[in-house]
Amino acid sequence: MSERGQTRLPRAIYVAGAAGLAIVAVPMIGLLVRTPWSDLGGLLASDVVVDALRLSLLSSIAATLVAAIVGIPLAIVLARTDFPGRSLVRGLVLLPLVLPPVVGGAALLFALGRRGVVGGPIADLTGLVLPFSTLGVVLAATFVSLPFMVLTVEGSLRNLDRRYEGAATSLGATPWTVLRRVTLPMVLPSLISGFVLTWARALGEFGATITFAGNLPGKTQTLPLAVYVALEQDRDAAVAISLVLVAISLIVLVSLRDRWWRAL
Protein backbone atom coordinates (compact mmCIF):
# COMPACT_ATOMS: atom_id res chain seq x y z
CA MET A 1 0.00 0.00 0.00
CA SER A 2 1.39 3.35 -0.95
CA GLU A 3 1.50 6.18 1.54
CA ARG A 4 -0.10 8.64 -0.86
CA GLY A 5 -3.46 6.99 -1.26
CA GLN A 6 -5.17 3.67 -1.55
CA THR A 7 -4.92 1.52 -4.61
CA ARG A 8 -8.02 -0.48 -5.41
CA LEU A 9 -7.16 -4.17 -5.30
CA PRO A 10 -9.09 -7.27 -6.32
CA ARG A 11 -10.89 -8.73 -3.32
CA ALA A 12 -9.16 -12.10 -3.71
CA ILE A 13 -5.85 -10.39 -2.95
CA TYR A 14 -7.16 -9.25 0.43
CA VAL A 15 -8.51 -12.71 1.24
CA ALA A 16 -5.26 -14.46 0.36
CA GLY A 17 -3.27 -11.78 2.18
CA ALA A 18 -5.36 -12.20 5.30
CA ALA A 19 -4.76 -15.94 5.16
CA GLY A 20 -1.03 -15.23 4.97
CA LEU A 21 -1.24 -13.00 8.02
CA ALA A 22 -3.23 -15.66 9.87
CA ILE A 23 -0.54 -18.29 9.31
CA VAL A 24 1.87 -16.14 11.30
CA ALA A 25 -0.55 -14.48 13.70
CA VAL A 26 -2.59 -17.47 14.87
CA PRO A 27 0.34 -19.29 16.51
CA MET A 28 1.30 -16.03 18.23
CA ILE A 29 -2.24 -15.81 19.61
CA GLY A 30 -1.82 -19.38 20.84
CA LEU A 31 1.29 -18.28 22.69
CA LEU A 32 -0.48 -15.30 24.24
CA VAL A 33 -3.45 -17.42 25.33
CA ARG A 34 -1.11 -19.81 27.12
CA THR A 35 0.96 -17.09 28.76
CA PRO A 36 0.88 -17.29 32.56
CA TRP A 37 0.53 -13.52 32.97
CA SER A 38 0.34 -13.47 36.76
CA ASP A 39 3.56 -15.48 37.21
CA LEU A 40 5.35 -13.86 34.32
CA GLY A 41 7.62 -11.63 36.42
CA GLY A 42 8.82 -14.48 38.59
CA LEU A 43 9.39 -16.82 35.65
CA LEU A 44 11.40 -14.24 33.72
CA ALA A 45 13.52 -13.19 36.68
CA SER A 46 14.97 -16.69 37.12
CA ASP A 47 18.71 -17.14 36.63
CA VAL A 48 18.16 -19.49 33.69
CA VAL A 49 16.17 -16.88 31.76
CA VAL A 50 18.45 -13.97 32.61
CA ASP A 51 21.55 -15.98 31.63
CA ALA A 52 19.95 -17.18 28.41
CA LEU A 53 18.80 -13.67 27.49
CA ARG A 54 22.26 -12.22 28.07
CA LEU A 55 23.88 -15.01 26.06
CA SER A 56 21.36 -14.70 23.24
CA LEU A 57 21.87 -10.96 22.88
CA LEU A 58 25.64 -11.28 23.09
CA SER A 59 25.95 -14.16 20.63
CA SER A 60 23.46 -12.79 18.10
CA ILE A 61 25.14 -9.39 18.02
CA ALA A 62 28.60 -10.98 17.78
CA ALA A 63 27.41 -13.24 14.96
CA THR A 64 25.97 -10.24 13.11
CA LEU A 65 29.25 -8.36 13.38
CA VAL A 66 31.26 -11.34 12.15
CA ALA A 67 28.76 -11.83 9.31
CA ALA A 68 29.17 -8.15 8.39
CA ILE A 69 32.96 -8.23 8.48
CA VAL A 70 33.20 -11.23 6.16
CA GLY A 71 29.78 -11.19 4.49
CA ILE A 72 29.80 -7.67 3.04
CA PRO A 73 33.17 -8.18 1.30
CA LEU A 74 31.91 -11.53 0.01
CA ALA A 75 28.79 -9.84 -1.34
CA ILE A 76 30.90 -7.17 -3.05
CA VAL A 77 33.11 -9.78 -4.68
CA LEU A 78 30.09 -11.78 -5.86
CA ALA A 79 28.33 -8.70 -7.23
CA ARG A 80 31.28 -6.96 -8.84
CA THR A 81 33.65 -9.57 -10.18
CA ASP A 82 33.33 -12.40 -12.59
CA PHE A 83 35.31 -15.53 -12.01
CA PRO A 84 34.91 -19.16 -12.94
CA GLY A 85 32.81 -21.01 -10.40
CA ARG A 86 31.03 -17.90 -9.15
CA SER A 87 27.64 -19.64 -9.28
CA LEU A 88 29.06 -22.47 -7.26
CA VAL A 89 30.42 -20.06 -4.65
CA ARG A 90 27.09 -18.26 -4.42
CA GLY A 91 25.25 -21.56 -4.08
CA LEU A 92 27.63 -22.64 -1.34
CA VAL A 93 27.18 -19.40 0.59
CA LEU A 94 23.40 -19.72 0.42
CA LEU A 95 23.41 -23.37 1.49
CA PRO A 96 22.73 -22.65 5.20
CA LEU A 97 19.36 -21.20 4.11
CA VAL A 98 18.08 -24.56 2.94
CA LEU A 99 20.15 -26.93 5.04
CA PRO A 100 18.42 -28.14 8.21
CA PRO A 101 20.33 -26.33 10.98
CA VAL A 102 20.98 -29.64 12.73
CA VAL A 103 22.88 -30.78 9.64
CA GLY A 104 24.84 -27.53 9.71
CA GLY A 105 25.65 -28.16 13.37
CA ALA A 106 26.84 -31.69 12.64
CA ALA A 107 28.96 -30.41 9.75
CA LEU A 108 30.48 -27.78 12.04
CA LEU A 109 31.24 -30.50 14.57
CA PHE A 110 32.95 -32.68 11.97
CA ALA A 111 35.00 -29.76 10.70
CA LEU A 112 35.68 -27.73 13.81
CA GLY A 113 35.28 -30.21 16.64
CA ARG A 114 38.46 -31.19 18.43
CA ARG A 115 38.59 -34.31 16.24
CA GLY A 116 37.60 -32.33 13.16
CA VAL A 117 39.75 -31.68 10.09
CA VAL A 118 40.26 -28.03 11.03
CA GLY A 119 39.35 -28.10 14.71
CA GLY A 120 41.83 -30.89 15.44
CA PRO A 121 44.93 -28.92 14.46
CA ILE A 122 43.52 -25.78 16.13
CA ALA A 123 43.02 -27.68 19.39
CA ASP A 124 46.50 -29.21 19.18
CA LEU A 125 48.24 -25.90 18.47
CA THR A 126 46.30 -23.50 20.67
CA GLY A 127 44.30 -25.63 23.08
CA LEU A 128 41.16 -23.86 21.84
CA VAL A 129 38.16 -26.18 21.71
CA LEU A 130 35.13 -24.66 19.97
CA PRO A 131 32.29 -27.10 20.74
CA PHE A 132 30.65 -26.53 24.13
CA SER A 133 31.96 -22.96 24.23
CA THR A 134 30.31 -19.55 23.82
CA LEU A 135 32.54 -19.01 20.79
CA GLY A 136 30.94 -22.14 19.34
CA VAL A 137 27.51 -20.56 19.83
CA VAL A 138 28.63 -17.46 17.91
CA LEU A 139 30.08 -19.62 15.16
CA ALA A 140 26.90 -21.66 14.77
CA ALA A 141 24.81 -18.49 14.66
CA THR A 142 27.17 -16.95 12.09
CA PHE A 143 26.97 -20.06 9.93
CA VAL A 144 23.19 -19.95 9.67
CA SER A 145 22.79 -16.17 9.40
CA LEU A 146 25.59 -15.24 7.00
CA PRO A 147 23.50 -15.88 3.86
CA PHE A 148 21.07 -13.13 4.89
CA MET A 149 23.87 -10.56 4.93
CA VAL A 150 25.36 -11.74 1.63
CA LEU A 151 22.02 -12.01 -0.19
CA THR A 152 20.73 -8.62 0.88
CA VAL A 153 23.89 -6.68 0.13
CA GLU A 154 24.70 -8.47 -3.10
CA GLY A 155 21.17 -7.95 -4.43
CA SER A 156 21.26 -4.21 -3.91
CA LEU A 157 24.79 -3.86 -5.32
CA ARG A 158 23.60 -5.52 -8.50
CA ASN A 159 20.77 -3.03 -8.88
CA LEU A 160 22.97 -0.03 -8.26
CA ASP A 161 23.51 2.53 -10.99
CA ARG A 162 27.22 2.17 -11.57
CA ARG A 163 27.69 5.53 -13.31
CA TYR A 164 28.26 7.23 -9.94
CA GLU A 165 31.12 4.91 -9.17
CA GLY A 166 32.48 5.48 -12.67
CA ALA A 167 32.32 9.23 -12.14
CA ALA A 168 34.18 9.00 -8.84
CA THR A 169 36.85 6.83 -10.41
CA SER A 170 37.31 9.22 -13.34
CA LEU A 171 37.80 12.03 -10.83
CA GLY A 172 40.74 10.13 -9.38
CA ALA A 173 39.19 8.34 -6.41
CA THR A 174 40.93 5.13 -5.38
CA PRO A 175 38.90 1.89 -5.36
CA TRP A 176 38.84 2.04 -1.56
CA THR A 177 37.48 5.59 -1.58
CA VAL A 178 34.85 4.74 -4.18
CA LEU A 179 33.69 1.84 -2.06
CA ARG A 180 33.64 3.85 1.14
CA ARG A 181 32.26 7.16 -0.12
CA VAL A 182 30.05 6.16 -3.04
CA THR A 183 29.08 2.49 -3.18
CA LEU A 184 28.37 1.66 0.47
CA PRO A 185 26.45 4.89 1.23
CA MET A 186 24.22 4.20 -1.77
CA VAL A 187 23.33 0.73 -0.50
CA LEU A 188 22.97 1.86 3.11
CA PRO A 189 19.29 0.86 3.44
CA SER A 190 20.15 -2.65 2.25
CA LEU A 191 23.11 -2.81 4.59
CA ILE A 192 20.79 -2.03 7.48
CA SER A 193 18.30 -4.62 6.25
CA GLY A 194 21.16 -7.08 6.06
CA PHE A 195 22.16 -6.36 9.65
CA VAL A 196 18.60 -6.71 10.92
CA LEU A 197 17.81 -9.93 9.05
CA THR A 198 21.14 -11.48 10.02
CA TRP A 199 20.65 -10.55 13.65
CA ALA A 200 17.07 -11.86 13.67
CA ARG A 201 18.14 -15.20 12.24
CA ALA A 202 21.03 -15.45 14.69
CA LEU A 203 18.73 -14.68 17.64
CA GLY A 204 16.35 -17.48 16.71
CA GLU A 205 19.06 -20.02 15.96
CA PHE A 206 18.54 -23.39 17.63
CA GLY A 207 19.50 -26.55 15.72
CA ALA A 208 23.09 -25.82 14.77
CA THR A 209 23.76 -24.40 18.23
CA ILE A 210 22.56 -27.38 20.23
CA THR A 211 24.30 -29.79 17.86
CA PHE A 212 27.62 -27.98 17.76
CA ALA A 213 27.83 -26.05 21.02
CA GLY A 214 25.71 -28.21 23.30
CA ASN A 215 23.46 -26.93 26.05
CA LEU A 216 24.90 -25.48 29.26
CA PRO A 217 23.14 -22.68 31.14
CA GLY A 218 25.25 -19.54 31.28
CA LYS A 219 27.68 -20.73 28.61
CA THR A 220 25.90 -22.14 25.57
CA GLN A 221 22.21 -22.15 26.49
CA THR A 222 20.60 -19.37 24.44
CA LEU A 223 16.92 -18.44 24.71
CA PRO A 224 15.76 -20.91 22.03
CA LEU A 225 17.61 -23.74 23.81
CA ALA A 226 16.14 -22.68 27.15
CA VAL A 227 12.67 -22.80 25.59
CA TYR A 228 13.29 -26.26 24.21
CA VAL A 229 14.46 -27.67 27.53
CA ALA A 230 11.72 -25.89 29.47
CA LEU A 231 9.00 -27.24 27.15
CA GLU A 232 9.63 -30.70 28.57
CA GLN A 233 9.72 -29.59 32.16
CA ASP A 234 7.86 -26.41 32.87
CA ARG A 235 5.54 -25.30 30.12
CA ASP A 236 4.77 -21.95 31.78
CA ALA A 237 8.45 -21.11 31.80
CA ALA A 238 8.77 -22.16 28.15
CA VAL A 239 5.90 -19.92 27.12
CA ALA A 240 7.28 -17.02 29.15
CA ILE A 241 10.73 -17.32 27.52
CA SER A 242 9.14 -17.60 24.08
CA LEU A 243 7.27 -14.41 24.78
CA VAL A 244 10.57 -12.63 25.52
CA LEU A 245 11.96 -13.80 22.17
CA VAL A 246 8.85 -12.67 20.33
CA ALA A 247 8.82 -9.32 22.11
CA ILE A 248 12.48 -8.52 21.44
CA SER A 249 12.23 -9.54 17.80
CA LEU A 250 9.00 -7.66 17.21
CA ILE A 251 10.23 -4.44 18.83
CA VAL A 252 13.41 -4.46 16.77
CA LEU A 253 11.79 -5.47 13.49
CA VAL A 254 8.90 -2.99 13.75
CA SER A 255 10.89 0.00 14.96
CA LEU A 256 13.67 -0.48 12.44
CA ARG A 257 11.27 -1.12 9.61
CA ASP A 258 9.49 2.17 10.17
CA ARG A 259 12.63 4.21 10.46
CA TRP A 260 15.19 2.60 8.22
CA TRP A 261 14.09 -0.40 6.53
CA ARG A 262 11.97 0.46 3.51
CA ALA A 263 14.42 -1.05 1.08
CA LEU A 264 13.08 -4.59 1.28
Partner 1 sequence: MVLMACGAPSAGRSEIVVSAASSLSDAFTEMAEAFEASNPDVAITLNVGGSSSLREQILEGAAVDVFASADSRNIEDVSGELVGPARVFARNVLQIGVPSGNPAHVVGLEDFERSDLLLGVCANSIPCGDLAERVLAAAGVEAVVDTYEPNVRALLGKIEAGELDAGLVYATDVESSAAVDGLSVNVAHVSDYLIAMLDESSEASAFIDFVLSDTGRQILERHGFVLP
Binding mask 131-150 for partner 1 (x = CB under 8 A): xx------------------
Verify binding: residue 236, partner 1, rule CB under 8 A.
no
DSSP-derived 3-state class of residue 122: helix
Verify binding: residue 164, partner 1, rule CB under 8 A.
no
Compute CA distances 168 → 145, 163, 175, whole Å.
33, 9, 9
Residue from 198, 211, 222, 242 in contact with partner 1 (CB under 8 A): 211
At closest approach, how far in Å is the CB of 113 from partner 1?
5
Compute CA distances 260 → 16, 63, 176, 202, whole Å.
28, 21, 26, 20
Verify binding: residue 34, partner 1, rule CB under 8 A.
no
42 C-beta neighbours (distance < 10 Å), count: 12
Verify binding: residue 210, partner 1, rule CB under 8 A.
yes
* Candidate segments 73-81, 127-135, 146-154, 189-197, binder of partner 1 by CB under 8 A: 127-135
Compute CA distances 249 → 56, 81, 117, whole Å.
12, 35, 36
6 DSSP assignment:
P
Residue from 101, 104, 113, 224 in contact with partner 1 (CB under 8 A): 113
Cβ-Cβ contacts under 8 Å for 33 (sequence gap 6 or more): none
Verify binding: residue 209, partner 1, rule CB under 8 A.
no
Chain contacts with partner 1 (rule: CB under 8 A):
109-110, 113-115, 129, 131-132, 210-211, 214-217, 220, 228-233, 235
